[in-house]
Each structure stands twice: as structure tokens, then as C-alpha cells.
A and B are shown apart, each in its own frame.
Chain A
């Protein structure tokens, strides 16, 4: 149950962060923060025959009643270390919730959890294996954000992901990049509310 403990711990620290921030009136679904940046894996367990390459991540987040909610995709190629197994491309499509320290801080700390599906497309024509696999993933994360110019921020995040395959795949990924916050269009607010 370690993944539950880790996730609960992250959420607990998230609420601690929120408690340290000044109270503010939130504009629920009022804005969208679009974040993009490169990503790679620092550590991976139970994928010994592969090595992660450099990929990218795109996330759209919006204020929720407490914290933010987000949707995103992360694409990372995995290269085979030996010729007996094929390369594969992974795509993690996720929804998440996060909480951060006060927006008045110069550097904001954030933490949250993402749930999604980890798609794996194998570069293989073999009949015996599946060309595509997918499995549920839980990914608690922590990160830092700093405003550089008005609504543009820089961010760095570390995810500890667990893919519920047998055997389980555990990996730690790091991503960094820029984000921009824009107002949410009225029609989108109407749908989300």
C-alpha cells in the first residue's frame, strides 16, 4: 500500500501548504494555466530492458474550489537496451489535482496527485506480443513555480509514478518548462461549472 501512503502524504503536505497561504477568493474555473516542457526519467524499476529518452509534457490547469484541477499528457520514448525487445513510446494521459502555497510568494511550492492511463505503443510486428498495452497509473508529484513576467511562470516538477502492471513499473520523472495563464473563455466555464 506504499502508493496510497505516498499519495496521502503528498495531499497532506498540500493542505499544509494551503494552510500557510493567505485566504483569497477563488475564481473557480476562471483561468487556465498552460504548462509545457521537456521531461525525462531519473529512475525506473521493472523496465530493466529499456532506457527512457527525452520527451515532453503538456498540462492545462484551472482553479478548483480547493486547489487546482488539471488535464495533461506526457510522452516519453523508451529505447531497448538489447535487440530482443522492441522500443516503445509511452503516453501518459492524466487528470490531477494539486494545491500550492500562496500566489503572493515569489516561489510557490506545489504538490498533488495525478491519475491516468499509461499507454505503451511497441515498435514491433511480432504476433506473440501485444502491439499496444495500457495500464492505470498513480502519480503524486511536487514542484516549484516562479513568476518571471506577469502571467508567465517557470516550473520544475518531480513525479513519482506507479504503473499498475505486473510487475509494477515505478519511475521518477522530472520535467521543467514554462507556463502561461490565460482567462478561461465563458463557454468553457459554462461547461465546467
Chain B
């Protein structure tokens, strides 16, 4: 805690700042980026950090203050939290959203509690398009990495095909009126595990007779209602994923099938012009089933998860607030182990926005949660308190100052540590781990200062300064040893408590916007202050300290779009992989380009992208694939009575 004044001093010492006005993107902007997957779309968002071991599974790390192994920001779609977590990651690819479903996307950094009771390190909020009348919308995309052997497959028997993925497909059938919207959706994707760097590992585990492919299918139905007094959102579905999950617990892939059945809902009713009540709920089941394997894999795991919350909302022009309370019940079971854990957690949260003047307002948020059986035991209580002061500058820019304090002890069933503390076993796939005898309370203090300045009509300069002090962390101690292409990176995961450190990050950038083009350039620096805590340093390394990011969107005609994305990152360190050649991942320059064209009164859209245009061999993780130049083709169609143009 003694570092807190230092961090505050560092932040407040900055004399001049200009931060981002808002991190939001319109659907039109996003649609013109040529992406066919939601995860690819997230990778194009300027402030977000990410990495991957297979080029398909995106490990999103938000702005990087939670380290490379964080769960990443939560995703909330039309007010519904979509949480698809497993083994310390969020499976963003399973969220049934395509790049062309989005009307507006915004990113809100920092800690907050969601209506489902989860703590989120940043939130991606999405408003979807809801076309009026009957509508059919569909999209399909194919991505192929270059480097296949071609004719030499006959003259060189050792030659192998390299990564390809797709088809990535989405289909939406819907009907909408000013008050009702009904939609049936189907999403599917496939990714071939053929890269030479992972293929040996996968085949050392997998014993199927077909080529290993990560694939998933999601079918979902949603219904929305909005009237002057009442609103309703219900969205349910089933997701089946054939996965080859690389996890640091094992150091190699786990061939498994995941099945999720889920239902998210919320509803509000206006009692008066100022008062509103609401209820939200989530039901979900998740279970694993192993694919054919050559070793003993983890026995079937299953989780049942039920969440509900009641809300009271108050809004006037100068003051708005949400007070909410709810709870969740989670059951974790494993075949041959029976029920491993049953958790009942209750929570309360509030968020208040107070207009201090016409140009200044204050936001205060707070939340508490505790096991329902120990609700009066303060030692079992987790809490979050945050505040943000925002002031609109004369230049139309904003100045924002934020402070958040979080203290967390509540257990869950979704993280890897939760699973193994509950008694889950992982067979020969991950036989070696040590868990702590007792849990420690994790504490986080985060300060932020950001502001923006508008220069002329087209330029917005911004700066964002954030620092996060973490303490009481329970993190795994690992030293991966490369056992070769067949045995992967094996290590014992020895979880240890009480680790601490600080992550500080300044970001500067500017956005130029005209009728013809939009250019954004930003630079981010991440500084780890471990204070001699080697384990903290090992766990929070992985993201490049220096990152330059730029995107350029040019619209030479209303229906022709050129999008370019440049990402320059310096060398990153992965100290868990101790040998010199694997712990240092070289820096890289990645340039992507997309050309897209709308046809037939915007009913059809074609896009062609060259990813990694410079054709550098890029590796983003010591155990990850070798990313070469790839090409991507996307086609989307939409036939709508009222086509729901992007705002």
C-alpha cells in the first residue's frame, strides 16, 4: 500500500494531458475493416492488446494492465453480459456476434461489476443492428495462410500444408417492428491445426482419424421488446466447440468438445419519468467431453451457473443512479469425482452519476459480494469502490480523473485455480500442480488520468495515463521445459500466494477524421514495477513494453473502402519459458490491408484482405504458430425491408 501515494504523485505530476474522448466505433467503421470474425474485429481496435498461440484463439488483454494472462474485458451485448470463460481465458470466438451485427461498439476501461455479479476488467459494450420488417443477413469468410507446398508436395514428401481457416459463417433471420424484434441466428467457424510449430504437439495427444480442426457451431434465438415503459431482452442458445485447447497448466493441447447452453435476459419497467425497476438473469450449463486421445485426459467436467439481479434506477438531467442486488449459484462436477463445489454468492452494487456543473460530472460506483452463508463475515467480503471526475474542456475535449480500489476474496468455479482447488483432476494431460493451503485477499488500486483536446475541425489529440497496484495475488510458478514437438512444454504449476507489483502505462495518440478518411496513431508503453517479486514479473510479462498502433480507413467513393492496420511491437519476454531462445519473442511489424466494396444498393459486401502484407514470420508466443502472410475473402449479404443502416 505504501506505493499508492507514489503512483498518485506520478499521475498528478503530469501537467498537460489530452485523452481519448470516447473509445467507441460505429458499425459502419467496423464493417469496413474487412474482418469476418468477432475476434478479428477486436484485434483491429486500437487500444486493445492481444496475443495468440494458434492465430485463431484470441487472448485479449485489454489495455494490458492485467498482464498477458488476464481474462480480458467483458462483452455486454444490448445490456446482456456474454461470459464464455474457461481455463483463465475468455473464449471471445464463442460470442454469437459477427462484425456486421454491430451498430455501435464502445470500450470502457477499468474495473466494474456486471449485472451477473462478475468483476470485469474493462467492458466492451455492443449495440446490435435490429432491422425492421423481415430480414435475412448472412456472411461467409475464408482465410488462407500462404506457404502451401503446391506441386512440390510430390517432389518433397516432407512438405506440409500450413494454416487455413474457415469457412467462418453467420446467418440471421429476423423480424422487427418499432417495438418488437425476433431473431434466429447460426454461427460457425473452423480452424485447421496444421502449423508446423503446433502440429507435433497436437498429434502427440490427439488420436482421431481426421485432421485436427478447431470448430464451433452456435445456434441462438433472441427476442427484444422496447416500449415507452417497458423493455425486454432475451437471448438463448447452444454452442458446441471442438477444441484443441493449449493451456499453460499442461503446456500442450487438450482435445475436447465443449458444450454450452445459455440464456441471458433482462427487463425494465418505468414506474415514473424518473424511476425504473429492472431484473436481469443468466442461466447456463457447460460441460466437456474428450476427443479421442493417446493419453488420459481430464474426466468430463460440468458447471451449472444461475445468476439473477434486481435493479432500481433513478434518472434526472443532473443525477442518475442504479442500485442493484442479486446472487448466483454455481455447481462444479466432474465424472468419477461427483459434485466438487457448490457456491452461492450474493452481491450488491450501485453506480451514481452526478452533474456538478454543466460541464463537469462525478461518477461513483461501488459493489460488494460475499458467500451467502457468510454474509456477515467481513473477512469473506469482496468490494469495489471507484470514482471518476470528468470535465469538458473549452476545446470540446475531456479531462477525466479516476480512482478505483478493489479487494477480492470470493471464490468461483471458472478459473483454473478454482477448478483445481475444488478437486478437479486433469489426468496425464496436466498431472503436476500444487495449490496453496489457504487463499489470500487480492487488492488492486488503479488511478487514471486521461484527456483529449480537439484541434481544428479534424484532429483529436489524447493521452491516457494509468497505473495499477496489485497485491495479495495468487499466481502460478512455472518453468516450462520444451520437451520437443511431441511432448510440448511441460512444467509444474505451483500456485503461490501474496505476490505484488505495479503496472503503469501511458498512451498517447491522435485521431484525424475527415469525410474521406480516418487515421489513428497511438503509442503505448507498459512498465512493470515488480519490486523484486520475481513471480509477479514472470506472470505479468508477455506483452511488449512498446507498441505503436495505427489504422487508416479511406473511402474514395461511398461504397469503396480501403483499410490498413499497422502494428509495431518490440520484443516481448515470456520468462516462464526459461531457455533464451523461447523466452524472448522477437518484435514484429505487422501490416494488414483490406479492400471492400458494397454492391447492389448495399445488399452485398465483398472484402479482400492481405494479412501480414510484409510476409514476415511472426511468432507471438513461445509455443505459438509461425504467422505468415494470409489472405482473407469475405462476402456478406443482407436483405431487409428497412435495412437498419449504421448510425
Contact = CB atoms under 8 A, between A and B. Distances in A.
A125 interface: no
Interface stretch (A53-61, A132-140, A153-161, A178-186): A132-140
A166 B629 CA distance: 12
Nearest to B556: A65
A85 B156 CA distance: 10
A133 B161 CA distance: 9
Contact of B631 (A120, A129, A136, A192): A136
Interface stretch (B145-153, B476-484, B507-515, B545-553): B145-153
A1 interface: yes
B614 A135 contact: no
A166 B615 CA distance: 13
B632 to A, nearest CB: 10
A191 B153 contact: no
A164 B599 contact: no
A86 B559 contact: no
Given A1-B614, A115-B608, A191-B599, A164 B151 contact: no
A47 interface: yes
Contacts of B161: 130
A20 interface: no
A10 interface: no
A164 B146 contact: yes
Given A85-B154, A95-B608, A193-B559, A165 B599 contact: no
B455 interface: no
Nearest to B600: A191
Nearest to B614: A1
A135 B608 contact: no
Given A1-B614, A95-B608, A124 B144 contact: no
A97 to B, nearest CB: 9
B146 A135 contact: yes
A14 B615 CA distance: 25
Interface string B144-184: 10111111111101010110000000000000000000000
A78 B557 CA distance: 42
B150 A135 contact: yes
Interface string A59-97: 000000100000000000010000011101000000100
B159 A192 contact: no
B357 interface: no
B148 A85 contact: no
A164 B154 contact: no
B148 A190 contact: no
Interface string B372-401: 000000000000000000000000000000
Contacts of A124: 154
Nearest to A46: B152
A9 interface: no
A133 B149 contact: yes
A13 interface: no
19 contacts: A1-B615, A46-B152, A49-B154, A85-B151, A86-B154, A122-B151, A129-B153, A133-B151, A135-B144, A136-B629, A164-B147, A164-B615, A165-B146, A165-B147, A165-B148, A165-B149, A165-B151, A192-B599, A193-B559
